[in-house]
A = this chain, B = another copy of it.
């Protein structure tokens, strides 16, 4: 699938078929995250792929009861392994690095005919407890994956001239 088509056709999918993701398809999706750029090529990430039904159910509860976390075939839990690194601009490296890697996976999933949804509404301490994640690791986001059982319309977007300005700030 063309990159622009993947970007345009991606939706946040919240209803999934009860159908597992083929192993090689899942590995191809994961591999696109591996190829993501990261600050100083740190690759400060670990991805926990949760397919176990009981654990998905527990993650769903840790995600404020969002049922699609359980219904999706796989939950990719994006963990930052070196959350202490800061860029000269003052931003932590890890949320940006993890977001790029998970974005690659989300687009690659679209091209594979899979649906995905970013999950940011969860209690980090509960997710860490469920998956035995060490104290120093941060869980940045979860990306759920599966065969879609819905095809929602695109959410509204601001127009380009509302979000792009030239050569200096303007409202």
Please give the residue numbers on chain A whose beta carbons come within 8 Å of chain B beta carbons, in ascending order.
1-4, 6-8, 10, 12, 27-28, 30-37, 39, 41, 43, 45-52, 55, 64, 79, 87-93, 95-100, 103-104, 106-108, 110-111, 118, 120-124, 127, 131-134, 137, 139-141, 155-158, 160, 163-169
Q: Which of B93, B104, B133, B168 contacts A169 (CB 8 A)?
A: B133
CB<8 Å pairs between A and B, sample of 22: A2-B3, A7-B32, A12-B37, A34-B163, A43-B158, A43-B163, A46-B169, A48-B166, A49-B167, A55-B167, A79-B169, A88-B122, A88-B123, A89-B121, A89-B123, A89-B124, A90-B124, A95-B96, A96-B98, A99-B100, A131-B169, A134-B169
Query: Are the C-beta atoms of B166 and A49 separated by less than 8 Å?
Result: yes
Contacts of A3 in B (CB 8 A): 1-3, 6, 32, 107-108, 110-111
Residue of B nearest to A92 (CB): B95
Number of copies: 2
Residue of B nearest to A86 (CB): B120
Knowing A2-B111, A4-B32, say if A165 contacts B48 (CB, 8 Å).
Answer: yes
Q: Which of B30, B90, B118 contacts A164 (CB 8 A)?
A: B30
A97 to B36, CA, bound (A): 16
Knowing A35-B7, A100-B103, say if A89 contacts B168 (CB, 8 Å).
Answer: no
